[in-house]
Amino acid sequence: MSPTTPAARDRLRIAIQKSGRLAEPARSLLASCGLSWRESRDRLFCYGETLPVDLLLVRDDDIPGLIAEGVCDLGIVGRNVLVEQDLDAQAAGRGARLREWRPLGFGACRLALAVPEGWAWHEPSQLAGRRIATSYPQLLTRWLADNCVEARVVVLSGSVEIAPRLGQADAVCDLVSSGTTLAANQLKPVLTLLESEAVLAGPAADLDDVRGELAQLLLRRLDGATRIRHSKLLMFQATRQLLPQLLPLLPDADAPTVMQVDGEDRLALQALCHGALTWQRLEDLRRAGARGLMVLPVEGMLA
Ligand code: ATP
Ligand code: ZN
């Protein structure tokens, strides 16, 4: 079968970034869901071995289009790219074709408006009549309209943050994670237009045929993998009377499993905790009467 044939209807095809920030985490997340691939020599198409789920390795900007055209069924892409291209499709009268199926918890960043460090920033109206450089013209234009600001949008495909120094713009609207790139260009972020992370993108409607079943299986595994990423299993023993003091110390835990050990009073508990189980927390639990505290890693989970 040719990797470019769109009619592979008995196999699910997922587009991920070929190289870049999302490439490796996307691949390892899918691998943690039990998928593995036989790689073709050009590494653009990876044939799924454990399940009929293949990968197409592409530029992140191409992913929404590939899904919309039906070349791929799903994709892993930044929310920033998905929303921008969806607004673009709507502006061209093509309507909303895609939706975010799941947030994936990596690739976190924000689309921020940044101005020169020397500006005293008070409010959006200060941007009236100014030039703002961005690679996200749709998101910026929507924000300007929402805030009744008339500014000029200067579209650049890269190196947005140096535009003010080059005299091409007065401010920028760009992706920020740590903020060091902005600071290196004497800019400061003043507003967030969009909070972003990597997402599983898919068509607006559910998939039918066998690909729909494969997608459901993948979603169940993804949900398990995302839930346990920062989770640990906490086990301990305590007497029944102490539960009212102990349970409030576990606000991030699912309802614990409680088992009775020798006699009425002595209980063994296990709880899946989603926050950090620091030494301090274990000591607090011990002080409240918990004994035999044990923290175990969680390898897999299926709700
Ligand atoms: P490609 O060659 O695939 O087009 P790219 O250069 O457009 O790659 P990357 O820089 O790898 O893309 O960024 C991919 C995604 O990573 C972004 O769209 C965004 O969702 C996310 N991301 C996380 N942190 C940052 C950051 N500090 N700057 C830019 N993108 C970030
Ligand atoms: Zn890109």
CATH, range 232-297: 3.30.70.120
Ligand 2 centre and the CA of 81: distance in Å?
Answer: 8
Q: Which residue has a Cα nearest atom 2 of ligand 1? A: 59
Q: Which part of the chain is CATH 3.40.190.10?
A: 12-107+198-227, 109-195
What is the position in ligand 1's atom list of the atom closest to the CA of 196?
20
Q: Which part of the chain is CATH 3.30.70.120?
A: 232-297
Residue 7: the pLDDT is 53
**Are the CB atoms for 112 and 189 separated by under 8 Å?**
yes
Domain topology for 109-195: D-Maltodextrin-Binding Protein; domain 2 (3.40.190)
Q: Specify the 3-state DSSP secondary structure of 79.
A: helix
Q: Where are the beta strands (DSSP E) in the chain?
A: 12-17, 37-39, 45-48, 53-58, 74-78, 98-103, 109-116, 131-134, 152-155, 171-176, 187-196, 198-203, 232-239, 257-260, 266-273, 291-297
What is the rounded CA–CA span in Å between residue 170 and residue 117? 11
Residue 287: the pLDDT is 96
Ligand 1 centre and the CA of 20: distance in Å?
Answer: 7
Instruction: Measure Cα distances from 5 to 1, 39, 211, 234 in Å.
Output: 7, 17, 16, 49
Paired strand residues for 13: 54
What is the rounded CA–CA span in Å between residue 91 and residue 138? 9
* Token pair for 240: 């029944």
Residue 50: the pLDDT is 94
Ligand 1 centre and the CA of 282: distance in Å?
Answer: 39
CATH, range 12-107+198-227: 3.40.190.10
**Are the CB atoms for 49 and 36 separated by under 8 Å?**
yes
Residue 302: the pLDDT is 84
Q: Where are the beta strands (DSSP E) in 204-281?
A: 232-239, 257-260, 266-273
* Token pair for 41: 């020599």
What is the position in ligand 1's atom list of the atom closest to the CA of 107?
23
Residue 96: the pLDDT is 76
- pLDDT, one tens digit for every residue, the chain (303 residues): 444 444 547 999 999 999 999 999 999 999 999 999 988 777 899 999 999 999 999 999 999 999 999 999 999 999 999 999 999 999 999 877 899 999 999 999 999 999 999 999 999 999 999 999 999 999 999 999 999 999 999 999 999 999 999 999 999 999 999 989 999 999 999 999 999 999 999 999 999 889 999 999 999 999 998 888 889 999 999 999 999 999 999 999 998 999 998 777 899 999 999 988 999 999 999 999 999 999 999 988 887
Q: Which residue has a Cα nearest atom 4 of ligand 1? A: 59
Phi-psi group of 260: left, alpha or beta (phi > 0 → left; psi -120 to 50 → alpha; rest → beta):
beta
Residue 34: the pLDDT is 94
Ligand 1 close to Cβ of residue 59 (< 6 A): yes
What is the rounded CA–CA span in Å between residue 147 and residue 115? 17
Ligand 2 centre and the CA of 283: distance in Å?
Answer: 47
